[in-house]
Chain A
Amino acid sequence: MTKRLSIDAALVVKNAAVIRQSILDAFEEDDTISLDLVDDQAVDLCGLQLIESARRQARAVGKTLVLERPAAGFRSVLDAAGFLTDAPSDDLQFWFHEGSAQ
């Protein structure tokens, strides 16, 4: 089963603690978590770091984390922060659903 977790709050530093907790709670409920981010959701580096951290958590506990939709709106921030330079294919797959389907 896939647990869909929708995140309406901006992915920014002030919401980081709350979002972290809701993702952790979701991991408790299911093996696959799909993050539903709204379009044009505000994001900052702290938010990106949090998503990275969530991916690590999934790997560490043997669960799966995906995005409900490609996060096209994050591309400019990801690019500016240097996350896309030499990015491995699973990063591109995760963020933009590019490459082979998971």
Chain B
Amino acid sequence: MSDEAIAVFQVEARENLELIEQGLLDLLDRPEDRDLVDAVFRGLHTLKGSGSMFGFDALAAFTHHCETAFDRVRKGEVAATTDLVSAVLAARDHMRQLMEDPSGDYGAAGDLLLADLERAVQEADGAGPPAVVTPGLTTWRIKFDLPANAFKNGANPLALLAELREMGEARVVADASRVPPLSQIEPTDHYLAWDVTLTTDQDRATIEDVFIFVIDDMNLSIEALDEARLGASPVQAAAVAEPVEPAPAKVAAPVAAPVAVQAAAAVANDPVEASGAKTAKAVESVRVPADRLDELMDRVGELVIAQSRLTQISNSGTDTALRAVSEEIERLSGELRDTMMVLRMVPVATLFGRFRRLVHDLARETGKAIDLSTDGETTEIDKTVIERLADPLVHLIRNAADHGLETAEDRAAAGKPATGRIRLSAHQSGGEVVITIRDDGRGIDRERVRAKAESQGLIEPGAVLSDHDLLQMIFHPGFSTAAAVTNLSGRGVGMDVVKRTIEALRGSIDIASRPGEGSEVSLRIPLTLAIIDGLLVRVGQGRYVIPLGAVEECLELSLDEDLRSRGRSFISLRNSLVPYLRLREMFETGTPPELHQKVVVVSTGTERIGLVVDQIIGDHQTVIKSMSKLHAGLPTFSGATILGDGGVALILDVGHLVAKGQQQEAQMREAI
């Protein structure tokens, strides 16, 4: 088996395990939901089958036991109790381990888990509905065929037939009548059909289960030859009414099928056509390695740079034809960039989904009742960003569960409902996505934060700090207010790492907390890391880019106003004072101020400041290049970009500048 095939199996198995987990977690809320039970069972069965196909024998064997146990839930013999579902969840983690590390020796751990599972099943047995009474022997006529892509998808009809044979006395007749001559055959398509007569004590549902993985795409009719004993349901009766022909093919979706499939459909009949539509449906989504997307993104970035050079050249000449082409290319590359962005976007639901399990485990570990609700899961964000957000969010949720939420008794004493709530929400705001984690716990204890900060020498004893600054203390390395280090959190390696990770994503983190009512951490993350729309400005001789998403407005700063405000650096903007920074002074350009300086007002959502520049050049699609290691320590800049003329412009870090401006304002206020 090639490494590539195994890697594909592992990717799919991971997804499958994720679905199993989600299904199990949903099952905790809705234990009666048959669809969920079926979905989980299908997941286990697939994992077992594909695991054994790819040589993951330990995984297949272990999963087989879980599947057998869970089968009893599916058959309605035992109830999906919380303990049982939790045992399967634990087993799922073990499967993941077996999948990731097939050569590891986990036999003993697996046996323990299976013993737990067995116990949970037995306990649930008492709670569950009575076992279904097995009917006597019945003879069934089973006709089926498989979709054209069955071979390619690894379906194994021989295994299906073997399973049917295991149920009782079976007579299998292959129907090769639809196999076309060699010149017309699509060699890997499936054209066979079967007619099986089976005498068994099993019921119809059990027979259908044999086909559980292919049933969506196949034609299947199951007809009881002994109708008196087992009435057929209306749907099945419809299939029986036409026993010679397979059940009607599903309506083909109006999607263009690939040419090869259409050709195959032309020579064969209905079932192939139906599966042709299926193939077309599969084409709707394609799995692409992320690094290929990154590569494409790089290319688009280079194209955008080349395009801005072209624009610059065409604008400097008088060639109208060149200008027309240049504008066309500008529009196209803009569209290409937008399409590229969308390609990389994934809904945060993929991220939020992981936390349900985390909260489930946290609730069991801490003994607290925790309710996780999520909001805005359809908000989309760059895939790379999503991946890098996972760890910080895990930390924040652990913190909320461990430090934030009180025990049930404390909550009752405080007059709160016993179940603590953690709310995870996301929404888009301009070029950013805001993710908030809110809990309704005890809130951050300011006194303890202060005491800890003083004992660590972060602040002078008795120093006057704003509430905001005090809360910022928790982002210091090594800072933790938890009295005891628990398994979950309190090691003090959390919040500073969280903050650094978020800042590395060009995002910002903010925390708000009300004593007794809970805390809220908000993360503001840019939608993408690669290309931004920027405002190109000139300060002295240098050119700089301000992310356009942060720009609120541009004003002129007259010489009078500039002189008048010297030493105060505030402008009055619609009755509110906005502090501003003279970039010319900050960057020490050594040039005299222009006659008509401009103020670019930027904000980070809540705070805003003005940046005084010499000239506003215009908007600029900015491909962000990261700074060299040598310059990584410069907080004023978040990166650099290459301009159309080949020059370099630094990208201003708005968050940092706003903080600096606010600091300046605070100092001014103190001075006054």
Contacts and interface: CB of A to CB of B under 8 A. Distances in A.
Nearest to A79: B172
Interface in A50-93: 50, 52-54, 56-57, 59-61, 77, 80-83, 85-86
B244 interface: no
Contact of B188 (A13, A24, A83): A13
Contacts of B172: 80-82, 85
B181 A49 contact: no
Interface string B153-185: 000111001100000000111101001111101
Given A81-B157, A86-B173, A56 B182 contact: yes
A27 B190 CA distance: 23
Q: What is the interface of chain A mostly: helix, strand, loop, or mixed?
A: helix
A24 B161 contact: no
Given A45-B151, A82-B174, A85-B172, A20 B158 contact: no
Contacts of B191: 49
A3 B157 CA distance: 33
B161 A54 contact: no
B187 interface: yes
B211 interface: no
A49 B151 CA distance: 11
Given A20-B185, A82-B173, A56 B179 contact: yes
A25 to B, nearest CB: 11
A41 B351 CA distance: 49
Nearest to B191: A49
Contacts of A44: 158
B166 to A, nearest CB: 12
Contacts of B152: 13
B194 interface: yes
Contacts of A42: none
Contacts of A59: 181
Q: What is the interface of chain B mostly: helix, strand, loop, or mixed?
A: loop
B158 A81 contact: yes
A23 interface: yes
Contact of A53 (B171, B173, B182, B194): B182
B158 A56 contact: no
Contacts of A46: 151, 187-188, 190
B530 interface: no
Given A20-B187, A49-B176, A86-B173, A57 B182 contact: yes
B188 A80 contact: no
Contacts of B176: 49, 52, 83
B185 A45 contact: no
B183 A24 contact: yes
A57 B196 CA distance: 28
Contacts of A83: 174, 176
A53 B180 contact: yes
Contacts of A101: none
Interface in B460-519: none
B90 to A, nearest CB: 38
Interface in B193-210: 194, 196
Given A53-B180, A53-B185, A57-B181, A45 B158 contact: yes
B192 interface: yes
A82 B194 contact: yes
A17 B188 CA distance: 7
A46 B174 CA distance: 13
A35 interface: no
A85 B174 contact: yes
B645 to A, nearest CB: 54
Nearest to B157: A45
Contacts of A82: 161, 172-174, 194, 196
B171 A85 contact: yes
Nearest to B155: A45
Given A82-B161, A83-B174, A85-B172, A50 B183 contact: no
Given A45-B151, A46-B188, A20 B161 contact: no
A16 interface: yes
Contact of B192 (A23, A24, A49): A49
A23 B185 CA distance: 12
Contacts of B190: 46, 49
A49 B184 CA distance: 13
A77 to B, nearest CB: 7
A57 B151 contact: no
Interface in A16-53: 16-17, 19-20, 23-24, 27, 44-46, 49-50, 52-53
B181 A53 contact: yes
Contacts of B174: 81-83, 85
Contact of B182 (A13, A23, A85, A86): A23
Contacts of A23: 182
Nearest to B152: A13
A19 B182 CA distance: 10
A65 to B, nearest CB: 9
A56 B181 contact: yes
Contacts of A77: 158
A6 to B, nearest CB: 17
A12 to B, nearest CB: 9
B179 A24 contact: no
B180 A56 contact: yes
Contacts of A86: 173
Given A13-B152, A16-B187, A54 B182 contact: yes
A32 to B, nearest CB: 15
A16 B188 contact: yes
A86 B172 CA distance: 10
Given A13-B152, A80-B162, A81-B192, 8 more contacts: A23-B182, A27-B182, A53-B179, A56-B182, A57-B183, A81-B158, A82-B174, A85-B174
Interface of B: 151-152, 156-158, 161-162, 171-174, 176, 179-183, 185, 187-188, 190-192, 194, 196
21 contacts: A27-B182, A45-B156, A46-B151, A46-B187, A46-B190, A49-B176, A49-B179, A49-B192, A53-B180, A53-B182, A53-B187, A57-B181, A57-B183, A61-B181, A77-B158, A80-B158, A81-B158, A81-B174, A82-B161, A85-B173, A85-B174
